[in-house]
Amino acid sequence: MARSVLLPHTLSGEKATDEQESQDEWEVVEENDENDASAAAPDVVASQQHVVFSPTFQVPAFYFTAHSASGAPLPLSEIVKLPLLRQHILAGTHSSGFALTAQESTFPLLSQGDHPVLGTPSWYLHPCHTAEAVTELLSESRTDGGSEEERLSRWIQTWFVILGQVVNLHSGTMAQ
């Protein structure tokens, strides 16, 4: 699965608040009237987002890139300012420039590495505890039975629910 989105970029360094984030509404990039020379175009970031299978952890993983309008990849210090990551997950994390790690965690929350299919540098959410989290939620839902296809469908739906707690899947506008 893949998609391309345009994300608003805050030049002032301000982070989105949880209140802004909960509304799932972000500034939409609109074309300016050609006659309105005083209107400044908002800065946008192009983000390529992929869901790929992690052969190591045997679960889906979320990979993404973020590039400025000039095509330059954004550093982690700018990525955390985007409305892509939910701001509450950033509390208590520290950055090494190539990874974002929560306190007392053995694995980083967000890492940089090669995309497993494309081989290009990407950011990804570390999938180490994915299977445990999905299994725990599915066991609480008590939805045993059904065909293999139905079980897999519930599994991936639950994974997207968990992913949505970390990544604002509604942010941005689809790039054309």
Contacting residues for 103 by C-beta, under 8 A, at least 6 apart:
92, 93, 94
Specify whether the CB–CB gap between 109 and 89 falls below 8 A: yes
Q: CA of 93: how far to CAs of 89, 90, 102, 103, 105, in Å?
A: 8, 6, 4, 6, 10
pLDDT at 29: 40
pLDDT at 141: 74
Using CA atoms, how far apart are residues 50 and 70, in angstroms rounded to an integer?
A: 22
Query: Is the whole-model pTM more than 0.85?
Result: no
pLDDT at 114: 93
CATH value at residue 10: 3.30.1460
* Residue 149: both structure tokens together: 């296809």
Expressed as residue numbers, the domain containing 32 is 2-174
Number of separate domains in the chain: 1
Q: Give 21's Cβ-side CA count (13 Å radius).
A: 19
Q: Cα–Cα–Cα angle for 3, 9, 11, nearest 5°?
A: 165
pLDDT at 175: 67
pLDDT < 50 regions, the chain? 12-41
pLDDT at 27: 38
